[in-house]
Amino acid sequence: DTEVTQTPKHLVMGMTNKKSLKCEQHMGHRAMYWYKQKAKKPPELMFVYSYEKLSINESVPSRFSPECPNSSLLNLHLHALQPEDSALYLCASSQDIGRMDEQFFGPGTRLTVL
């Protein structure tokens, strides 16, 4: 199984809602990532988890809260988001966090904040 799955595919939420994005991989990868992609822009790294521990947080606002409950699962909890947070959220995983480790991406969750 060389797939990274993400649920839901689409999510519409109000600014007062709390929701979560889910990402799963069963490739035995020990690094997992969240990226944000705004329209017509490249993906931007948000968080990196290595061996289930948060290793990088790219100055992401606290309304985004990542969680790695086990080595196969990565969640992104969303609370009090703003309309400008509307974007495609991509999850990825890699064997480890070395420079040669290609990242396997999920198809993304399209988030709209009203």
Over the range 3-25, which residues count as b (16 or more CB within 10 Å of their CB) and which as e?
A: ebebeeeebebeeeeebebbbbb
Q: Closest CB to other proteins among 9 and 16? A: 9
- Name the minimum Å distance from CB 97 to other proteins: 4
How far CA 44 is from CA of 1, 8, 72, in Å, comes to 26, 20, 22
Q: Closest CB to other proteins among 28 and 107? A: 107
CA distance 70 to 101: 20
Which residues lie near other proteins (CB under 8 A)?
A: 4, 31, 41-45, 48, 55-56, 90, 94, 96-108
Q: Closest CB to other proteins among 5 and 112? A: 5
- Name the minimum Å distance from CB 53 to other proteins: 13
- Name the minimum Å distance from CB 102 to other proteins: 4
DSSP bridge pairs for 56: 48
